[in-house]
Amino acid sequence: MVFASLEFLTLFLPIFFLCYLLTPQRWRNLTLLIGSWVFFTWWTPKYLILLIGLTSLAFGAALAIEHCRSSVWRTRIMALAIILNVMCLCWYKYANMLARSLLDILHYQGAAGFAWESVVLPIGLSFTVLHAISYLVDVRRGVVRAQTNFIAFSAYMAMFGHLIAGPIVRYKIIDKELRERKFIAHDFAMGVRRFMVGFSVKVLIADILSPLVAQIFSSAQPSFVDAWVGCIAYTLQLYFDFAGYSSMAIGLGLMLGFYFQENFNHPYLATSIQDFWRRWHMTLSGWLRDYLYIALGGSRHGRWFTYRNLMLTMAIGGLWHGGESWNFLIWGIIHGSALCIERMCVERGLSLPDFASRCLTLLVVMLAWTVFRADGFSAACSMWAGQAGLHAWAMSDALTLSLRPEIWWAAGLGLVCAIYPATVWARTGVPGFRSAWWRNLWPVLSFFYALAVLSGQSSRPFLYFQF
């Protein structure tokens, strides 16, 4: 069950909100927890025990940290709990990749292989571990008090609005709302609006571009035009898929009385890679900065240690995204290298005009998305070769036949949505569309149109579910 599915929109969500609104205030965390566990078990019932186990580990470790008088032992308890979380994540996320790599090495050397049964990654495990780590570290640092109510803490860890693909919600952000929150009609209405907008861009842009992206990235030797059409399409698909999910999650949070952080701020208008990471998946980039980069030493120990920490942070961040391929590690190294190069240029007083800087940043981001999306490093190299014009130049017949009118509309709408914030109209308002009634009506119209489109096709999981 995904947010952009008829079973979620017409079955789970109405029943859940009916139960939630009828529940007395003091018991709403329990209703939220039960609803979240039902949502989780709809996907993979057998992994509910794992979720409860990790939740219990973080809950108990935080209480032990807070009640322990020895600073050394507080750190040891935190470290042990974090290590157990990371070990669990590594097993489910990287066991398959490491086993396949070892089998490839044995095959290359002519040695006998071994039988391996693939390990299935439970949904939401990556974000569950990140939430647990940030909570434990914040308790150890004294930023928050350890939660003493297991139901409230479990509701935070399992909250279906952000459990699967973020945004990453730190405990300190919603600590107050977990203890006391009220139903506010205006916030509920704003949450519904955010949810409808996110659903619309997911279905009407990301999902329509999905078959085109899959076709081009499965091509053995894409031409120059094919490769760049595929790269642009995936750049738009990934943004509107993930930003759409984040908008739906933020909307659900508002409907429940929680105020989640924004996760995107027009990232494709960034003037540098550093600026890109201030705008893209902002809750993840903030997490990497506060709990990894700073923990490694940040920029406190000189230039070369700073470069090292940047590379390690981005490499680990890239590896976190997936365990099916080493491509994600390469993607992280590309971004880490770009951050180091930018820092060197700034130190030497080198800069580009604003427009050129934006174009160069977008080019680096798109070339990195190529390896992020490709099925293996050889496929990424083939796409890069196509983007360099090493295969052919003209659009292939297969792509020509695939570019149906709705794909052109989706791509055009996506580009307008991505570029519009930089235009004069974004600051002054589009003539004819400034009235409040239109601003309130268009999300409803787009939502029902997207719902009609969805009813005629199977729902597609959000791209970030696999991470």
Contact 122, 50 (CB under 8 A): yes
339-370 burial, b for 16+ CB within 10 Å, e for fewer?
Answer: bbebbeeeeeeeeeeeeebbeebbebbbbbbb
Cα 185 to Cα 11: distance, rounded to the nearest angstrom: 22
Angle ∠(77,289,56) on CA atoms, nearest 5: 30
Q: How many CB atoms are closer than 10 A to CB 182?
A: 8
Contact 127, 166 (CB under 8 A): yes
**Of the listed 131, 281, 321, 391, which one is catalytic?**
321
Contact 439, 294 (CB under 8 A): no
Which H helix or E strand runs over 333?
Answer: helix 327-347
Strand blocks (E) in 150-189 = none
Nearest to residue 186, comparing CAs of 466, 450, 442, 440?
A: 440
Contact 100, 114 (CB under 8 A): no
Cα 425 to Cα 417: distance, rounded to the nearest angstrom: 12
Written as one letter, the residue type at 306 is T
335 counts as catalytic: no
List, in order, residues 6 or more apart from 82 with CB less than 8 Å away. Answer: 132, 133, 136, 137
Ranges of H-type helices in 44-149:
48-67, 71-108, 125-141
Q: How many CB atoms are closer than 10 A to CB 217?
A: 22
Catalytic residue ranges: 321
